[in-house]
């Protein structure tokens, strides 16, 4: 089946190549009878894959049994999976079928399979290899014909190294592994998922759907979502219920995001600290503006040479060493900032003649200096956007600022 049809049938939202690859593999392996292991972080939607495998297999008319292995106490897991005989243990008043017996002729999905105790892992390995099992308290071997699909968010290499999971069982389960990407690697899908969830909740709670402004969308797409799709759905539901204003801005959205995972956001880590973050971004772009005003390295060399000849360069041996490294093309950005800071005026590349004395610059009207810097900043941003064909993400990376700051500057300077 075509990937688009798969997504529509099973309610999968997103266009991530990794997600589409996982769907394709699930559909391809479904026609066989081999075991499948679905890998991915908690909340990535691993439960969809076994349903695809079952629906496109020859067992689709047989039973489909889903078992959360992590939710069953260790003392009763064997009984749940394989059944028990009457009197096998205290409380076993009747003979009971287990999930493997109930799923005979169909598919069993073992979610959180890495949580199984080692003794149960031995029993599971026997079922996978021979189709045989014994009920708890019984000596009679029974046969079952099931397709096993397992899933986990555990790192198997670590679990096997620590002796918590059998290596032979891992290889038997993972005849075909399917890896689901975390939401932080699907930034292009986040807004699509948000729109789906807010539409669903608007129908469920009979209220208008939410919408996001541009800055809120950027934050939504940059947030790492440690809880993946489940967390995004939870946040969307909270806002759908609690927010009376259906147009969500950046500050409102930040109020629903835990502070411990905001390091990748395109602005300050908290709403209250946004001004400090933006000031830091502006300081960074100012350094870049000042350095870029020199044009290129040759123009900077000429300006520094002119200043040396006329006694305009401030500082001593440290600055002299930096000047020498300017001529060797060996400056780090931080050192370049020191050179620029030592210049007695904010002159452009054309200032190759004698530099104006510092006292002249000090008496220059402040608004003229600010205007010059703003013009240069505007031109620098315009050139970066033009170079990257108006792709804000790449332009912001080159400028060394966040996308949110760049977006604000674009609006401030009315750049189209």
Q: What is the pLDDT of residue 266?
A: 59
Average pLDDT over residues 93-104: 94
Residues 104 and 202 reside in one and the same domain: no
Residues 119 and 7 reside in one and the same domain: yes
Residues 173 and 307 reside in one and the same domain: no
pTM reported for the whole predicted model: 0.64
- Are 150 and 35 in contact by the 8 Å Cβ rule? The answer is yes
Residues 29 and 95 reside in one and the same domain: yes
CA neighbor of 215 nearest in space, from 264, 257, 239, 251: 251
Q: What is the largest CA-CA distance in the chain?
A: 102
Average pLDDT over residues 290-312: 53
Q: What is the pLDDT of residue 8?
A: 94
Band the pLDDT of 118: cuts 50, 70, 90. Answer: very high
Instruction: Show which of 151, 181, 211 is a domain's final residue.
Output: 181
Tell me, yes or no, whether 275 lies in a domain: no
Tell me 400's DSSP state.
T
CA neighbor of 174 nearest in space, from 148, 143, 154, 153: 148
110-124, 283-297, 394-408: the lowest-pLDDT one: 283-297
Residues 94 and 107 reside in one and the same domain: yes
Residues 312 and 380 reside in one and the same domain: yes
Average pLDDT over residues 363-375: 53
Tell me, yes or no, whether 271 lies in a domain: no
Residues 170 and 92 reside in one and the same domain: yes
Tell me, yes or no, whether 273 lies in a domain: no
296-303 long-range contacts (CB < 8 A, ≥24 apart) are 296/349, 297/326, 297/329, 299/349, 299/352, 300/326, 300/339, 301/326, 301/327, 302/352, 303/343, 303/347, 303/349, 303/351, 303/352, 303/355
Tell me, yes or no, whether 274 lies in a domain: no
Residues 40 and 132 reside in one and the same domain: yes
Q: What is the pLDDT of residue 276?
A: 44
What is the tens place of the pLDDT at every residue in 19-66? 999 999 999 999 999 999 999 999 999 999 999 999 999 999 999 999
Band the pLDDT of 198: cuts 50, 70, 90. Answer: very high
Give the number of domains in the chain.
3
Residues 136 and 21 reside in one and the same domain: yes
103-117, 259-273, 376-390: the lowest-pLDDT one: 259-273
CA neighbor of 45 nearest in space, from 13, 90, 3, 82: 13
Share of the chain above pLDDT 70, in %: 72
* Cα dihedral across residues 255, 258, 261, 263: positive or negative: positive
Tell me, yes or no, whether 295 lies in a domain: yes
Helix (H) or strand (E) holding 247: strand 247-248
Instruction: Show which of 125, 159, 181 is a domain's final residue.
Output: 181
- Are 10 and 190 in contact by the 8 Å Cβ rule? The answer is no
What is the tens place of the pLDDT at every residue in 231-245? 999 999 999 999 999
Contacts of 8 (CB under 8 A, 6+ apart): none
**CA geometry: angle at 239 spanning 233 and 240, to 5°?**
85
Tell me, yes or no, whether 64 lies in a domain: yes
Alpha helices in 213-258 (DSSP H): 214-222, 228-242, 250-254
Tell me, yes or no, whether 226 lies in a domain: yes
CA neighbor of 269 nearest in space, from 314, 327, 224: 224
- Are 78 and 136 in contact by the 8 Å Cβ rule? The answer is yes
**Domain containing residue 211: CATH number:** 1.10.8.60
Q: Which domain holds residue 376?
A: 284-412
Average pLDDT over residues 162-179: 96
Tell me, yes or no, whether 272 lies in a domain: no
Residues 70 and 190 reside in one and the same domain: no
**Domain containing residue 144: CATH number:** 3.40.50.300
Instruction: Show which of 209, 236, 265 is a domain's final residue.
Output: 265
User: In the structure encoding, which two tokens stand for residue 416, read together?
Assistant: 């189209």
Residues 300 and 233 reside in one and the same domain: no
Residues 155 and 238 reside in one and the same domain: no
């Amino acid at each position: 089946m075509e990937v688009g049809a798969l997504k529509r049938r099973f309610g999968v939202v997103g266009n991530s190549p990794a997600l589409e690859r996982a769907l394709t593999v699930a559909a391809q392996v479904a026609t066989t009878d081999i075991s499948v292991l679905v890998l991915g972080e908690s909340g990535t939607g691993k439960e969809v894959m076994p349903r695809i495998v079952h629906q496109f297999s020859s067992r689709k008319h047989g039973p489909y049994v889903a078992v959360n292995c992590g939710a069953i106490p260790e003392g009763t897991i064997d009984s749940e999976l394989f059944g028990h005989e009457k009197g096998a243990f205290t409380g076993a008043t009747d003979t009971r079928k287990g999930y493997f017996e109930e799923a005979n002729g169909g598919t069993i999905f073992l979610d959180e399979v890495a949580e199984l105790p080692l003794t149960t892992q031995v029993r599971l390995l026997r079922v996978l290899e021979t189709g045989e099992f014994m009920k708890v308290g019984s000596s009679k071997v029974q046969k079952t014909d099931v397709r096993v699909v397992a899933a986990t968010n555990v790192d198997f290499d670590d679990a096997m190294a620590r002796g918590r999971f059998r290596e032979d069982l891992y290889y038997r389960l993972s005849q075909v592994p399917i890896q689901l990407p975390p939401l932080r690697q699907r930034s292009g899908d986040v807004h699509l998922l948000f729109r789906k969830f807010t539409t669903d909740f608007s129908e469920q709670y009979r209220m208008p759907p939410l919408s996001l402004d541009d800055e809120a969308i950027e934050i939504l797409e940059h947030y790492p979502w440690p809880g993946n799709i489940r967390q995004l759905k939870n946040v969307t539901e909270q806002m759908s219920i609690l927010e009376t204003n259906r147009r969500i801005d950046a500050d409102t959205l930040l109020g629903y995001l835990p502070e411990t995972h905001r390091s990748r956001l395109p602005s300050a880590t908290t709403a209250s600290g946004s001004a400090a973050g933006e000031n830091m971004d502006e300081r960074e772009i100012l350094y870049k503006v000042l350095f870029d005003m020199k044009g290129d390295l040759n123009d900077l060399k000429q300006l520094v040479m002119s200043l040396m000849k006329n006694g305009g360069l401030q500082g001593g041996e440290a600055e002299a060493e930096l000047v020498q490294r300017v001529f060797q093309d060996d400056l780090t950005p931080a050192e370049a900032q020191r050179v620029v800071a030592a210049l007695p005026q904010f002159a452009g590349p054309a200032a190759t003649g004698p530099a104006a004395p510092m006292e002249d610059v000090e008496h220059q009207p402040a608004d003229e200096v600010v205007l010059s810097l703003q013009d240069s900043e505007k031109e620098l941003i315009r050139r970066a956007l033009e170079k990257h064909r108006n792709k804000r993400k790449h332009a912001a990376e080159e400028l060394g600022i966040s996308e949110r700051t760049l977006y604000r500057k674009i609006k401030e300077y009315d750049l189209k």
